[in-house]
């Protein structure tokens, strides 16, 4: 499963993530490639890249889907969390390299967590 062939669409999408070191929303990708890649294809390429462990996805505010490159972040222990930070000013999202430990919950079995921290990013703090 995942990416089997190195097609033009795959290259274009990967180039986008290599160029800027941050998360990119699907909406943004669909828009910026609108004259090169069909909307459906963008969704499918991202899907395959995620299956392949090249990208990971998560939801930003308003439930919009974002993708970011994986840097071995897919092999965390299940109670550790890879949080994301979304700037309320510029909208940018970064992967955070800190671990947030979820406390043990009595009578529950924790399998994972999604943490979205909101605030002002470095650039917007001045």
Annotated binding residues for Zn(2+), written as ranges, equal 87, 90, 121, 124
DSSP codes, 86-100: EETTT--EEE-----
Instruction: Name the minimum Å distance from CB 93 to Zn ion.
Output: 8
Q: How far apart are CA 62 and CA 88, in angstroms?
A: 12
CB 66 within 8 A of CB 58: yes
Q: Which residues bind its own copies (CB under 8 A)?
A: 59, 62-65, 83, 85, 88, 96, 98, 100, 102-103, 105, 107-122, 125
Closer residue to its own copies in complex, CB, 40/97: 97
Strand 93-95 versus strand 84-87 pairing type: antiparallel
**Closer Cβ to Zn ion, 39 or 76, answer by number:** 76
Whole-number Cα distances in Å, 114 to 11, 18, 46, 111: 29, 24, 19, 11
Residue 100 interacts with which of Zn ion, DNA, its own copies, none, CB < 5 to 8 Å by class: its own copies
Subset of 39-78 contacting Zn ion (CB under 5 A): 68
SS3 (DSSP) at 121? coil
With respect to its own copies, which residue has the nearer C-beta, 7 or 91? 91
Q: Which is nearer to Zn ion, 43 or 58 (CB)?
A: 58
Residue ranges in contact with Zn ion by CB under 5 A: 68, 87, 89-90, 95, 121, 124
């Amino acid at each position: 499963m995942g990416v089997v062939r190195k097609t033009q669409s795959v290259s274009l999408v990967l180039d986008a993530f290599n160029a800027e070191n941050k998360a990119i929303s699907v909406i943004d990708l669909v828009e910026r490639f609108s004259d090169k890649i069909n909307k459906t294809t963008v969704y499918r390429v991202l899907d395959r890249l995620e299956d392949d462990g090249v990208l990971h996805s998560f939801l930003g505010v308003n439930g919009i889907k974002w993708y970011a490159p994986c840097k071995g972040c897919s092999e965390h222990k299940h109670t550790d969390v890879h949080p994301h930070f979304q700037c309320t000013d510029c909208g940018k999202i970064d992967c955070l390299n800190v671990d947030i430990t979820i406390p043990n919950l009595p009578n529950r079995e924790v399998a994972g967590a999604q943490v979205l921290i909101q605030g002002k990013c470095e650039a917007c703090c001045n």
